[in-house]
Structure 1
Amino acid sequence: MSSFGATILDAEGQRLTVEEKALFRDTKPFGFILFARNIDTPDQVRALCDDFREAAGHDAPITIDQEGGRVQRLRAPTWREWLPPMNFVKAAGANAAEAMYIRFRLIAHELYALGIDSNCAPMVDVPGPETHEFLYNRCYGTDARNIALMGQAANDGMLAGGVLPVIKHIPGHGRATADSHFELPHVSAARDDLDRVDFAPFKRLRDTPMGMTAHVVYEAIDVLPATLSSKMMQVIREDIGFDNLIMTDDISMKALSGNLGDLSRDAIAAGCDVILHCNGTLEERAEVAAAAGEMNDAAQRRAQRALSYRQTPDDIDIPALDAQLKALVGEEVHG
């Protein structure tokens, strides 16, 4: 088959426009991402997912940010609300790993029923005392080893439910004191500390099908943010050992400066496999798709490997899992 386009793109509304269909038909994005503006009813979401795949001409993975807490696109009353991950893990205590598995197995159940077969989770960044508030309560604890255990439980729950996890923000966003949606964070920690703490959960979870980069400068290694740094990509590939598909975080975030085409080319040149672009105009999506082009051979192999993790969901008893989760976490499990 021909190579996938090296992009993950989105849609403006709840169904594709004629122009969006034409763009996706011409550029064959590897995958797509959904936001709250794309979501109304279950039938509508399923139809939009069908639109995406038909336009791209292949069984494209469709992802979403369904972490729970502040970052979740599917909301009540149609779908479950979830406690923020930090609060959830604390409430579960010694039962946290079991509870995280069930949490993400239930999330996967809801996603898969809609035609969504990927989730931008787990987030295994290790927070510290000065971690920016946009990130802190999205984390799974404060200890690198326990965060990795929670991340593995989340991975296992999603994969059992037919959903491909995307680990983020590789190689670690936890020390950042700025919100990368609006400015570029710099981390001044020594390399040994980064290896011991920040990079450790990603190394433990290096077999996750896909990973998303951090728009963060690690001053001990390079002056460029990880998304655009060949030195950081070498750390991710060789030292952390993550050889599965790497997508950028949203290439249009204000942490990165420059035009979208140049940023897309620079990220691919640095070693990213796929450019994630969100919340742009049709013209901006076309610019990113043209700059990213088709996947190179190595990226195509990683893409096929990521898709090979797809599996038919195991059978589950939803009411029984809900009851089990409440027993582990308490009545406020869903926020």
Structure 2
Amino acid sequence: MTPAVFGLTGLSLTASEKAFFRESDPAGYIIFGRNIESKTQLRALTDELRAIHGRDDLAILIDQEGGRVARMQEPIWPKFPAGEVFDKIYDIAPATAIEAARLNAQAIAVSMREVGITVDCLPLLDVRQPDANNVIGDRALGSEPMRVAALGRAILDGLQRGGVVGVVKHLPGHGRTSVDTHKALPTVTASDEELQVDLAPFQTLNKAVMGMTGHLLFTAWDAETPSTLSKTVVQDIIRDRIGFDGLLFT
């Protein structure tokens, strides 16, 4: 098996994609907006991917967070809320916020399973920091680590109840970025002590099955190499200090 998650070019597989995927046998696939037209089309696409490998448990991923990050969109699918909504409910009624996050995640999972998608890149465990770039912004579950962890645990549980695996992201923490990491490489200059706030939710939920790294440069840990590529960050911080031993990808 090739330790990679592949994307697709369009709404159905080309002959060359089928041949390449069959030969390379990747760990899984990820679906983007360019691959989605309708429920029937999307289910046919995911069925075709499973048929190539003969594996019902093939990992087929998507970014379906709710809010501004949602590949499956209206009017075909419901518009689910962003993480910030549950943070605001928590201010009023913590238990209600946790249950709402769980039920919302379960509803997302049910809509995904219907079209054959098995993994959601959710929840975000990034602790929101003031004055950070809006790339995380309202996607975050809050600025208090244990609140983020509590809501994140509920989301993982809800996804599982709906038959989908969740992915904790963005290890080791994406709440302090000064620029959009899709466009540039941010440098985080916070101290090791300050960064413990960012690590805390991931440490609480370190038994999650899957995790995704954030692409940032943390000067306190490795001033030369971005976290995704840094042996120090991946091994010493994510694996050892956070204690995450699940499937890690970017």
- Given residue 99 of structure 1, which amino acid in structure 2 is its aligned partner? A
1:203 match: 203
Residue 249 of structure 2 corresponds to residue 247 of structure 1 = yes
1:1-335 paired onto structure 2 within 5 Å: 4-59=1-56, 60-91=58-89, 93-94=92-93, 95-195=96-196, 197-223=197-223, 224-234=225-235, 235-248=237-250
**Corresponding letter in the other structure for 2:140:** C
Name the counterpart of 1:283.
none
Contact 1:7–1:29 (CA under 8 A) maintained in structure 2: yes
Greater displacement, 54-63 / 22-31: 54-63
> Which secondary structure state, in structure 2, belongs to the residue aligned with residue 194 of structure 1?
helix
Runs of 4+ in 1 over 4 A off after TM superposition: none
Residue in 2 that maps onto 1:292 = none
Q: State the distance in 1 between where 2:217 and 2:173 align.
A: 11
- 1:184: Cα distance to partner? 0.4
Gaps spanning 5+ residues in structure 1: where?
A: 249-335
Q: Counterpart of 1:68 in structure 2: which amino acid?
A: G
**What code does the residue aligned with 1:12 have?**
T
Check the 8 A contact 1:222/1:232 in 2, yes or no: yes
Distance in 2 (alpha carbons) for counterparts of 1:202 and 1:88: 18
After TM superposition, the score normalised by the length of structure 2 is 0.95
Q: How many residues align?
A: 244
- Deviation digits for residues 192-246 of structure 1, max 9, x if unmatched? 1112x00000011111110000101110010211100000012111110000100
Q: Once superposed, what is the RMSD of the aligned Cα atoms? A: 1.1
CA contact (8 A) 1:10 1:34 kept: yes
Alpha-carbon distance in structure 2 between the residues aligned to 1:189 and 1:181: 21
Q: Judge conservation of contact 2:129–2:176 (CA < 8 Å) in 1.
A: yes
User: Which letter does structure 2 place at the counterpart of 1:171?
Assistant: P
Question: In the alignment, residue 104 of structure 1 is paired with which amino acid?
Answer: A
Contact 1:22 1:55 in 2 (8 A): no
Residue identity in the other structure for 1:22: A
